[in-house]
A = this chain, B = another copy of it.
Amino acid sequence: MNILFIMYDQLRFDYLGCAGHPHLETPNFDRVAARGVRFTNAYVQSPICGASRMSFYTGRYVSSHGAAWNAFPLRVGELTLGDHLREAGMACWLIGKTHMKADAKGMARLGLAPDSVIGARQAECGFDTWVRDDGLWGEGPDGFYDEKRSPYNEYLKSKGYAADNPWSENANAGIDDDGNMASGWIFMNADKPANIREEDSETPWLTTRTIEFIAQAEGPWCAHVSYIKPHWPYIVPAPYHDMYGPNHVPAARRDPVEREDPHPVYGAYMDNRIAAAFQREEVRQKVIPAYMGLIRQCDDQLGRLLDHLEETGRMQDTMIVLTSDHGDYLGDHWLGEKDMFHDPSVKIPMIVYDPRPGADATRGTVCDALVESIDLAATFVEAAGGKVPDHIIEGRSLMPWIRGEVPEDWRRYVISEYDYSQTPQAVKLGLRPRDCRLFMVFDGRWKLVHAEGGFRPMLFDLWTDPDEFHDLAKGADHQAEIDRLYACLAGWGRRMSQRVTKSDAEILAGRGRSGRKGILPFLVDGSEVPEELTSRYRGPARQDFTAERRDE
């Protein structure tokens, strides 16, 4: 079997037809959902690209792998999906974005050349690279945000796009009435068509690369197809730019009560520039239709990919996973972007299609189990026929759910984390880096957010307040729930996350072996164990050095 592990960047869980969006039709997402399981309570380990992705790729919590924010390097030697799948006999390829930052210092310390196979995998979080393009080719006075070469810009140039940075000037900009570049960075331009042929824009480009990969690949393989869209800059080529308009924009889910005595960290985020922009209705009305157009384009390209799989017979032997690295507030809760733990940010779409007969019982169903993004790594290892190394991968395989089984010992809460130490909010709050850390515990009903740095927690009851407007930790009525969730967080904090060199099986096999290797620190007179174990400690002394001493 093969695995198509498809990730969309910043795709909200509820911006899909099958998830009930009132205006956005996504027939191809729905087509996969109709053949697979849609997980309706799937959460990311961190609501930010880099940290979230490192959790997907390692199967480990952010505090376990340590790459806590964008461009925080993943430490050298940290095991990834690629390591685990190759051990199970499955190749593991990257097509698109990872947001991986190599641990260059660690690699140099271990003498790993970046251009060696081992070094290249270390630098690409374990993947072999079909194409790596993180999709953010922004450029400012200090240079490019992403210093690597841009395969996408190279492609555009080969297609006759004359700009220095056609990603910026064509794919992510329109043209204004005066013939000037209308940058997609500027929200007021979001309703313009991107100045690019639709087939050259980012989503079709990566889909074509994926089809090329599949055409030549010999299995078993896992391909991580990782789209930059519908991530900002919010601008999309025709015909997607005007498929949706202000009348398709849902009302912002926000309530004045949220602005009353907000948690200081939430308050700092509500006051930032992104939030201020999304608090303006004209921004939402420009941006959200573009965001929907980008998703619709993703859906069409997914259809193209599914058609290719069907035509080539690959639907029968390819698992397909559709997911996202986090959501997008889009003005809900007075916020833009992601970063905090309301569902629009931390909850993700997750649809798993398994072609094997064992999954027939669940086709077209939804599953509301508490799922974490780290579960996919375990799922893929099991799908590849490997044994999940549960002393390394902290996620749980979703295969039981996909087979229609209900595991008795499934998790009772999900954890997500956020490190905002490098953000303007940290400056505003005057915190040292290690105090800029948030932890979410969500048990399916109650959502607790703990903030380091001496702040009070936040608490939401999603049963009585599904929109998460009422922070119950402001009052004193819910201490019992707060204590209970803190106990969950404490138990999680004591988890065994770094004993990665020794499996449970090795420990069980090692029990009681030291006696058979001559370590016997309990013998009173030697009769305590079979003579076999002490035979080397018996017999005549060969020389008598105590006598020698007496002679001196």
- A539 and B283 form a contact (CB under 8 A): no
Q: Is A165 an interface residue (CB 8 A)?
A: yes
Render A175-197 as a binary contact track against B, CB cut-off 8 A, 1 for contact: 10001110101111000011111
Q: Is A444 an interface residue (CB 8 A)?
A: no
Task: Tell me how many chains of this kind the complex includes.
Answer: 2
Among B186, B195, B516, contact of A523 (Cβ-Cβ < 8 Å): B186
- B233 and A140 form a contact (CB under 8 A): no
A160 CB contacts on chain B under 8 angstroms:
543
A116 CB contacts on chain B under 8 angstroms:
111
How many Å lie between the Cα of A71 and that of B433 in the bound state? 35
Among B111, B138, B546, contact of A519 (Cβ-Cβ < 8 Å): B138
Q: Within residues 497 to 552 of chain A, which ones have a CB less than 8 A from any CB in chain B?
A: 497-502, 504, 507-508, 510-526, 528, 532-534, 536-546, 548-549
Among B142, B187, B498, B513, contact of A516 (Cβ-Cβ < 8 Å): B142
Given the interface pairs A144-B518, A501-B103, the reply to whether A526 lies near B66 with Cβ below 8 Å is: no
How many Å lie between the Cα of A139 and that of B520 in the bound state? 10
Q: Is A162 an interface residue (CB 8 A)?
A: yes
- B541 and A175 form a contact (CB under 8 A): yes
A325 CB contacts on chain B under 8 angstroms:
none
A64 CB contacts on chain B under 8 angstroms:
498
- A507 and B141 form a contact (CB under 8 A): no
Q: Within residues 479 to 510 of chain A, which ones have a CB less than 8 A from any CB in chain B?
A: 486, 489-490, 492-494, 496-502, 504, 507-508, 510
Given the interface pairs A138-B520, A336-B522, the reply to whether A508 lies near B433 with Cβ below 8 Å is: yes
A283 CB contacts on chain B under 8 angstroms:
524
Among B65, B144, B174, B523, contact of A187 (Cβ-Cβ < 8 Å): B523
Among B423, B489, B528, contact of A494 (Cβ-Cβ < 8 Å): B489
- A528 and B273 form a contact (CB under 8 A): yes
How many Å lie between the Cα of A427 and that of B273 in the bound state? 58
- A422 and B510 form a contact (CB under 8 A): yes
Given the interface pairs A490-B490, A532-B141, the reply to whether A180 lies near B501 with Cβ below 8 Å is: no
- B424 and A545 form a contact (CB under 8 A): no
Among B174, B419, B523, B536, contact of A140 (Cβ-Cβ < 8 Å): B536
A232 CB contacts on chain B under 8 angstroms:
521
Among B105, B512, B513, B543, contact of A427 (Cβ-Cβ < 8 Å): B512
Among B63, B161, B273, B336, contact of A496 (Cβ-Cβ < 8 Å): B63
Q: Within residues 127 to 179 of chain A, which ones have a CB less than 8 A from any CB in chain B?
A: 136, 138-145, 160-163, 165, 168-170, 173-175, 179
Q: Is A83 an interface residue (CB 8 A)?
A: yes
- B516 and A140 form a contact (CB under 8 A): yes
- A504 and B427 form a contact (CB under 8 A): no
How many Å lie between the Cα of A424 and that of B510 in the bound state? 11
Binds B, one of A15-23, A73-81, A221-229, A455-463: A73-81
Q: Is A290 an interface residue (CB 8 A)?
A: no
Additional A-B contact list (5), CB under 8 Å, known A64-B498, A68-B499: A65-B498, A162-B543, A183-B526, A194-B546, A434-B496
Interface residues of A (CB under 8 A from B): 63-68, 71-77, 83, 103, 105-106, 109-112, 116, 118, 122, 136, 138-145, 160-163, 165, 168-170, 173-175, 179-181, 183, 185-188, 193-198, 232-233, 238, 272-274, 276-277, 280, 283, 336-337, 419, 421-424, 426-427, 432-434, 437, 439, 450, 452, 486, 489-490, 492-494, 496-502, 504, 507-508, 510-526, 528, 532-534, 536-546, 548-549
